[in-house]
A and B are shown apart, each in its own frame.
Chain A
Amino acid sequence: MNKIIKYVLHDIFRNRILLAYVVLLSLSSFGLFLMNEDVSKGISNLLTVLLIVIPLVSVLFTTIYFFNSYEFIELLVAQPLKRSKILLGVYAGVGLSLLSAFWLGIGLPVIIFDGTIVGWYFLLSGTLLTMVFVSLAFLASVLTRDKTRGIGIAMLLWFYFTLIFDGIVLMVMFAFSDYPLEKLTIFLSCLNPVDLARIMVLLKMDISALMGYTGAIFNQFFGSSAGIVLAISVMLVWIVMPIALALRIFKRKNL
């Protein structure tokens, strides 16, 4: 498997898109830190970038990469290599390269300008979020043979988690506002990794004004540290579940 990771990394690091991603991330992080005098304000602005750009780039880049290396995967399947090792090798390769882009583009500036515990939580949240969307992209990719459809499913997932989901939550809140909704809200947040990533950072920053409804309930219900532990564990489930499912499908897939 290490060899597969090596060849995937070799392939991706020559890819200009990844470089562009690093540049985009560093421009936004340096820009936001230099424009805001207050570092924590910089972080909270950067959070917006984190929650929109990272899922989008992770899910799109992974899906496109998967379909572009379909030939490579086919070639490997004809060799004496286990299918699970092939898929996990490519997964680890893509994950590692997107994570290194994230740590170069956002990790470095955050450590330089902030360096507090909040910053570290911010980076942890971005790391988990990247992996969640890489996993989801793999699931989208093995579901179909067609590149366009695969990218379509991936985009739909991103739309759903960043835009549509919040709308649904708001509708539920509005429709049932006469009832106690705390537990339901927590449950709903667990269904959305993007929301969890946001809550994780905001609980540590302790800015209740920015927490939003779900964040405030997390804080009230669990207190900040237990809330963070819960958010991290659910995010881990969001990483493991889709890739485990993708693996099951890939093992039976006709190439």
Chain B
Amino acid sequence: MIQIEGLQKKYGKIHALRGIDLTFDLEQVVALVGPNASGKTTLIKCLLGMVIPDGGKILFDGKNIEGDVLYKNRIGYMPQIGRYPDNMRIGYLFGMMKDLGKNRVKDHFDEELIDAFKLGAMFGKPMRALSGGTRQKVSAALAFMFSPEVIILDEPTAGLDPLASEILKQKIQKEKEAGKLILVTSHIMSEVEEIADSIAYIVEGEALFYKSIAEIKSESGEERLGKALFHLLGKRA
């Protein structure tokens, strides 16, 4: 579904991505894991065309995404920090996004998360009055709204209350079973273990390894993913 080949990105002197090669397919939940500032968010932003890469290419369904926008019809994105126009009310924001994406859905919008998070009761509130967690809920609901084939979630549960993050995890599971590709970044290993089936480990702009979680565990002989990763990385260093 998505092929990344030799992706490069420099911000001035900082070399954020140094030739990343990765392939993602449908019916997969891939966790992008790595230290802070390793290039995970830059990678995601390249996928979405928000950051223009300096080298390499990204193929979506076999087609280069450069200069294309239509492929974004098939992607839902939840940013790490959801930033929205301050004066806009939640209800208006959802209305606007539906209006802008009218042709993206066949019959109805997926409003499961809006209902599950009880956002309807807050439709009258302006975005600036929302807490960080509520913003995350809004971002999550927007990412799933158009039932896209690919869903990209950048640290989805950071700042969510336990109930809400459980709801979100169940939603991810459900969408995976429906045959979607889900890309998640996270620093919480227990959560990765719960939702993802493979891990792409990114360090300093390079993909160190890309393996299924079962493989990682059997290679290291550890039961817990956090320990297994520690073991695996320790061996390399």
Contact = CB atoms under 8 A, between A and B. Distances in A.
B85 A80 contact: no
Interface in B78-129: 79, 83-88, 96-97, 99-101, 104
Interface in A2-22: 3, 7, 11, 14
B84 A75 contact: yes
Interface residues of B, number: 26
B83 A81 contact: no
A82 B97 CA distance: 15
A177 interface: no
B85 A11 contact: yes
A80 B73 contact: yes
Contact of A78 (B48, B52, B104): B48
Contact of B50 (A3, A71, A80, A254): A254
Contacts of A77: 48-50
B208 interface: no
Interface in B22-61: 45, 48-52
B211 to A, nearest CB: 29
B45 A255 contact: yes
Contacts of A78: 48, 50, 72, 77, 79
Interface residues of A, number: 22
Interface string A143-175: 000000000000000000000000000000000
Interface in A58-80: 68-72, 74-80
A253 B50 CA distance: 8
B237 interface: no
Given A77-B49, A80-B70, A255-B50, A72 B104 contact: no
A80 B84 contact: no
B49 A79 contact: no
A252 B83 CA distance: 21
A133 B128 CA distance: 30
Contact of B100 (A3, A11, A71): A3
A81 B100 contact: yes
A-B interface, 10 closest residue pairs, ranked by CB to CB distance from nearest: A80-B72, A71-B83, A254-B51, A72-B85, A80-B73, A255-B50, A80-B69, A78-B77, A78-B48, A77-B50
26 contacts: A3-B99, A11-B85, A14-B87, A71-B84, A71-B86, A72-B84, A72-B85, A72-B88, A77-B48, A77-B49, A78-B48, A78-B50, A78-B72, A78-B77, A79-B72, A79-B97, A79-B100, A80-B70, A80-B104, A81-B69, A252-B52, A253-B52, A254-B11, A254-B45, A254-B50, A255-B51
